[in-house]
């Protein structure tokens, strides 16, 4: 399973890519508008920070398939390679995917059912993004749906990956990993939750205590001089 960060905040992105193995950045209209920046400046700023090799998902805002197609082409020209057109699920979105998937990778978002994911994959989507926690919040089994989608896509040999989205706890992420989801996209604070564990903390504290009992505050380089 691969990791992406779900944010449009440039400082959060800088911090997370320094310390964690992040494949790319996903955004949505809510995250973008939260930054209260000129849209073009924000998008190009994120690309500059993550470099050309990480993938960058930017969601389209057109109401019709034709508007979405025009937006996606303009964004690809601006962002360059490794741009993924993020497209809301629905009739217009599926129509846009059937055209755009021949030109660039597409991610169909706001997936809330297995059949939505299948339709998106058959339309040519490279990614589908089920909303895990939002489904869990209404008792719909978000983790189960995301994992079922991953298995279904693999079963039919469709070249489409599941990007699990909308997470609130480590267990949801772990269950998606065990269930075969290909990618998860997470808020910045989730990465420290994934990396942390109280037994890890106590173990490291023990190493530090034992070292200092003999070597004091010296570090290894101090002792190699």
> Which residue reads 């993550």 in tokens?
50
Please report, for the chain, the start and end positions of each structural domain, with discontinuous segments joined by +: 2-198
> Quick one: pLDDT band at residue 111, thresholds 50, 70, 90?
very high
Quote the pTM value: 0.94
SS3 content of the chain, % helix, strand, coil (to 5): 55, 15, 30
- Residue pair 47/77 in contact (Cβ under 8 Å)? The answer is no
Question: Which residue numbers are catalytic?
Answer: 86
Interval 159-171 mean pLDDT: 97
Mean pLDDT in residue range 100-129: 98
Mean pLDDT of 111-137: 97
Is domain 2-198 annotated with CATH 3.20.20.70? yes
Which residues sit opposite 24 in a β-bridge? 4, 55
pLDDT reported for residue 38: 98
Question: So what's the pLDDT on residue 78?
Answer: 97
């Amino acid at each position: 399973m691969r990791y992406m960060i779900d944010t449009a905040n440039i400082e959060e992105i800088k911090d997370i890519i320094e310390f964690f193995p992040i494949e790319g950045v996903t955004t949505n209209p809510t995250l973008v508008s939260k930054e209260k920046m000129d849209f073009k400046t924000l998008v190009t700023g994120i690309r500059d920070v993550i470099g050309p090799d990480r993938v960058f998902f930017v969601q389209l805002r057109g109401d019709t398939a034709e508007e979405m197609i025009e937006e996606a082409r303009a964004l690809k020209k601006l962002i360059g390679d490794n741009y993924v057109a993020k497209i809301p699920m629905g009739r217009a979105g599926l129509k846009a995917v059937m055209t755009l998937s021949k030109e660039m990778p597409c991610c169909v978002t706001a997936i809330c059912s297995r059949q939505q994911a299948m339709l998106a994959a058959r339309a040519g989507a490279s990614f589908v993004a089920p909303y895990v926690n939002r489904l869990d919040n209404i008792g719909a089994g978000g983790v189960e749906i995301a994992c079922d989608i991953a298995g279904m896509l693999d079963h039919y040999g469709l070249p489409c990956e599941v990007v699990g989205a909308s997470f609130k706890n480590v267990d949801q992420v772990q269950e998606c990993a065990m269930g075969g989801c290909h990618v998860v996209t997470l808020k910045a604070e989730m990465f420290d939750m994934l990396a942390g564990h109280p037994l890890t903390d106590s173990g490291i504290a023990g190493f530090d205590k034992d070292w200092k009992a003999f070597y004091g505050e010296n570090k290894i380089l101090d002792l190699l001089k």
